Structure 1
């Protein structure tokens, strides 16, 4: 098996972005005309890392990283839920701290399920589309691949999360407003960072001596071989 110099660092950064953005999503923020959860500020980087992984190392390597992120996100979610469920000491400070913790980080099963499901579908869709486009374009037009895959992946991610987490809780008009704000911001960030993506992809291909094409890849997301 070929050894890569930077694959482990990209994996670590990908998982860190995923977990931090999931915690940050407990706060809703407003920036100009956009209303979105705090995790939206960082989460688009997970898709940029996904683009790097698939473009340089191929779908199979990306698949392993996506599953790694999924299980570590599940671990962090269950840990926060367990801590929230455990009783705090009866003193006033501990009770106040526990109430604040539970309000911000306590496990809400519907939102936790929405986050995991949206991440899984969105990331695999992003990786699949990029891998297919790379073969179809014979490695040309990187921006088409990164932005095109993000349009699909982020669209599915955002729609699934909002529908599973908040359908029937929020009014449909609010769901649509938040979807548009999130989607435009996420895709816009991908477009804005395209020159950096080009530079990093070029560096990694030279440093790793790798530019993988998924011509004979089995795209089953459950195959880890």
Structure 2
């Protein structure tokens, strides 16, 4: 259990930091949390490569628990427009994290014997796409308004050009696309630290 501690602590730090930084805008479409959360996939993939899928799933569960705690705390803090974390945001965040990270673990494990970059890149691309789709749809789609009738998400469904220059879509679609683009970019960037860590450490699981 002790050898899993670095991964658990790293995942917890990323989840906590992301829950704090998501409160601060970066430009028109993003928050600062968009730049920290994707590194959760790096932690999961490093754990998977060095210690195997079972350890990686344990790290994911630890991150999920920390995320729930953060959501509970956020739901009790009242901001200008109500609780900092609504039920739909909490539900979307938890569901997206768990589904995306566990999918990442499975895809990585299936590809672990291929070229060194393939497992982390493909698993993160799939996991990140799933994460974005689940979170933004659950948190902001009008079709799921029944999840929390008292939560007004009309602002997120205002029809605007996609990322300011595309077809007219609900605002949350632009937010999701921007978030997804950051995740994909960081998935590529994260290959460098992934290679560095795995190069210097002999994996216990091939």
- For the criterion TM > 0.5, the same-fold answer is yes
The RMSD of aligned alpha carbons is: 2.1
Unpaired runs of 5+ residues, structure 1, are: 85-98, 214-225
Distance 2:98 2:180 in 1: 17
Please say if 1:25 is aligned against 2:16.
no
Aligned to 1:175: 172
Specify which of 120, 128, 132 is matched with residue 106 of structure 2.
128
Please say if 1:154 is aligned against 2:128.
yes
The number of aligned residues is 183
Specify which of 90, 101, 115 is matched with residue 112 of structure 1.
90
Distance 2:185 2:12 in 1: 22
Unpaired runs of 5+ residues, structure 2, are: 143-152, 158-168
Please state how far the C-alpha of 1:81 moved relative to its aligned partner: 2.6
TM-score (norm. length: structure 2): 0.80
Residues 105 and 18 of structure 1: CA distance in aligned 2, closer, same or farther (over 3 Å): farther
TM-score (norm. length: structure 1): 0.74
SS in 2 for 1:142: coil
SS in 1 for 2:26: strand
Please say if 1:77 is aligned against 2:71.
yes
Aligned to 1:211: 204
Higher relative contact order (CA 8 A, sep 6+): 1
Aligned to 2:33: 39
Q: Deviations over 1:1-51 (max 9, x none)?
A: 8x63xx312220111101210222123322xxx722321110111111111
